[in-house]
Structure 1
């Protein structure tokens, strides 16, 4: 096997975040079929790598995103520059990383900026301070309580262990699959479960008619089309069907970049865990080799889980108001602060853009006619603590007169696709190109005026909005429907969503600048309209 090895240099520039990542690029000139004898541990299959927190699962070098376009009349808007936004993003992600250090969620396997916990509250307070420092006098920190009866389930410690044995090769020891992620609201009586394994492919009816899952741990294979939101409608019902057919637990092998932890899917009907890409690849090869050697029936897993359901939590929203010069109506811009794992792209980038807008429009020369309301939301990840719904409830003076609500969510992650090279274990790598992932635009009232502003923005700033129209209002949009106002949502759907691989390095700094400059343009254009003009 011939491979090319290179190590990236440590640097930071205006193109992207980079780190000391060692990349191994293997030329695809050979087959990855491995020895399948029993004289080596696990049939001679390469063992999966350990999970490394805060590291990117994709191959990156210094061929970064294209520089942001800065029109001549915007050269003085330094508060919208990518380097300035990058400083905020680094600080936002640091709140997540401190969550792991403090083990605020019960261990160090899951971390983030979690509403109801110090990491979420500290992020909101810091963001409010940034808006005050920008000269905004009306900044409201608003505390609200978890909905009565709501429970916020969190896995504290867990493990998915493939049990070893000599029938899988001499010296085959237990393998802990470190990318595993326990899914809500899984529960294992006594905290542990040991059972045989059965592979069910995609878990379709056509496959299951030939497979008996009773008393076994069923393993299904999921290949995401983008992020896992698009797979929920098929993967979750499939898992529930497996439990109904007698499976003791379900393992989702997810074809994701590298070996990251993937927190998506819930309510699978029983104990349910996700596995990252390279752990899944290892398991697939073990299944095939064991089947060939006649030892598949001996494969067993041990699942362990400790979890807790949290009630009586509280959270914060920060609401900043920049008074307009002549209008009573408001334009609302929202970005949620909560996140799973590092959360650089969900929603660190969106929050960084919102803070840049606060600095820009707080300057007297940039004041709008309308009131500009900036909501740093507690988000929607913590059960019973919905930031948008409480923002509407607690600020009727602002939302009753709102012209529209704009939700900034996942806006500057780099565009990621499968690469032409592989990891040493044969798993295909992922890489990033010189653009940002496509951004879907949802406009609930289908206004052609608003749609045209996005076309203009693409022409001026190069923002990568998708061409098809949509009324999507996912994520934060659900909570804002209570206001009864038009909702505009910008949202990417990249593969690193809700994963431990959504780190600083995968965010396009020029992409954040593109989005900030587009948003300033968009808001200034909206400011020339009234309610009839956007409907």
Structure 2
């Protein structure tokens, strides 16, 4: 047999394999590094925003508003630099400690780096009584590493976006090797006549749909592992909130989820291999960072922002910390005699370590509210003060495979002391209008999710916040935080502080006999 003849079966076999790879990874040539369950997008790498900060600088709409010329030292572009410095804390942790589970993680070295950075910023601004208040933590969930691969007739491929839900169970030994089944949105109807016991279950999740308790349902029906694919264009890593399914539970980007579903649709009988190493780490600590600007009286105004977050955590909540710093800088430039009330700034530990023993800083504030807030006229919680307005699948644009960016920031949830404080509501609404802040038409009846939600019953509280498409994802970078929104929201906060300082404390206290629910 000639050498040419002997090569024919090999060439045919290679052709079959390349054909399978071409189907699994549409649009990718055989000369590229293949990652078939994460379609390669040369211009849109997984870990980058679709635009650079430089490109966006002049694109975001800068409205001429009545307050345009007020508070000029509160500069949105300068505030973005504080966000970038906090991102760098996260990235150092990624590069030196854990390349998969990273961010400014409560109890981790990045948490203490963040606290030290903020302490230095407070010192540089000239705040007094700058201090770090430590807290002991309950045992904390820390995934050490994980791998998720899918095996089919075309080969074995990595799931690039697989990311464990917070407090997910890990695996033991060599991990799991499971048949994969797809159950749509995971309603009871989707599970009808489906045997998922001992299998890996794939569920699709769409932002805006009611919670179908699909993950819990899968666990109750005996699933050995659960994958939740977020139906958001692209392929984002996402850190989801805690689960109590009792089995390894991981989120997936949309492209990975669709690819898995299509494997099943084509009858290729995919199997998923999961290894997730989790440690419960004891004897960790976190901290709140304090700084003070004395005023003419011992009445107080607080500004607080949580320091922690997943991945770069630019919007949630480096942006809030940047807003707090900008307010501290602005009022530090005012003579003490010009500050009617003492101002206290708090860098909270945060709340992303959800579950038992989380949010220790805000719980301490709540437990000590009588001492802390007896003479408090206002507490501003700076949380997600600017988020880019994005659109999913706009009609007739034919760009269904990507998140579309606008030149504006989103409208906010908002809370301004509840309906028993009409003066604070009026001041807030006037400031929002003056500085071009879009809000929901009605305020939240209670403080929205976030750190004010634990103390709003005890203090005249104010917050604006939003949770949108890049929330808790690896694309929540500084680019998703418009400098215009940072600037306008923070200037509105300053206006609210100044107007509140014209009111007597009695105006802001709840009427006697008022319940604490609103």
For Structure 1 versus Structure 2, the TM-score category normalised by the shorter chain is 0.7 to 0.9
From 164, 173, 190, give the equivalent of 1:182: 164
Q: Matches of residues 137-216 of structure 1 in structure 2 within 5 Å?
A: 137-146=128-137, 150-165=138-153, 172-183=154-165, 184-216=167-199
CA deviations on 1:260-293 (whole Å, 9 max, x unpaired) are 11101322412101001221232233233x1xxx
1:43 to partner: Cα distance: 7.3
1:177, 1:343 → 2: CA distance?
Answer: 23
Partner of 1:342: 312
From 44, 48, 51, give the equivalent of 1:55: 48
Partner of 1:64: 59
2:503, 2:469 → 1: CA distance?
Answer: 37
1:210 to partner: Cα distance: 2.6
Partner of 2:448: 473
Determine if contact 1:220/1:251 at 8 Å carries over to the other structure.
yes
From 499, 515, 520, give the equivalent of 2:494: 520
Partner of 2:431: 457
CA deviations on 1:204-238 (whole Å, 9 max, x unpaired) are 1112123111121111110112xxxxx7x725x32
- Partner of 1:189, secondary structure, is coil
Cα 1:445–1:433 change in 2 (3 A) is same
- Partner of 1:458, secondary structure, is helix
Determine if contact 1:443/1:473 at 8 Å carries over to the other structure.
no
The worse-fitting range, judged by mean Cα deviation, of 42-51 and 277-286 is 42-51
1:461, 1:135 → 2: CA distance?
Answer: 28
From 287, 312, 334, give the equivalent of 1:364: 334
1:71, 1:134 → 2: CA distance?
Answer: 29
The worse-fitting range, judged by mean Cα deviation, of 48-57 and 81-90 is 48-57
From 184, 203, 226, give the equivalent of 1:220: 203
From 225, 234, 237, give the equivalent of 1:249: 225
Question: Which runs of no fewer than 5 residues in structure 1 stay unpaired?
Answer: 1-36, 166-171, 226-230
1:335, 1:341 → 2: CA distance?
Answer: 17
1:453 to partner: Cα distance: 2.2
The worse-fitting range, judged by mean Cα deviation, of 358-367 and 264-273 is 358-367
2:361 matches 1:387: yes
1:299 to partner: Cα distance: 1.7
Partner of 1:281: 258
Q: TM-score, normalised by structure 1?
A: 0.81
1:444 to partner: Cα distance: 5.0
Question: Which runs of no fewer than 5 residues in structure 2 stay unpaired?
Answer: 1-15, 27-35, 511-518
Determine if contact 2:136/2:284 at 8 Å carries over to the other structure.
yes
Cα 1:120–1:487 change in 2 (3 A) is same
1:239 to partner: Cα distance: 0.9
Partner of 1:263: 239
2:397, 2:219 → 1: CA distance?
Answer: 34
1:428 to partner: Cα distance: 1.4
1:181, 1:450 → 2: CA distance?
Answer: 42
Partner of 1:494: 468
Determine if contact 1:333/1:374 at 8 Å carries over to the other structure.
yes
Determine if contact 2:417/2:424 at 8 Å carries over to the other structure.
no
Larger radius of gyration: 2
1:208, 1:83 → 2: CA distance?
Answer: 50
Would you say how many aligned residue pairs link Structure 1 and Structure 2? Answer: 470
1:390, 1:215 → 2: CA distance?
Answer: 43
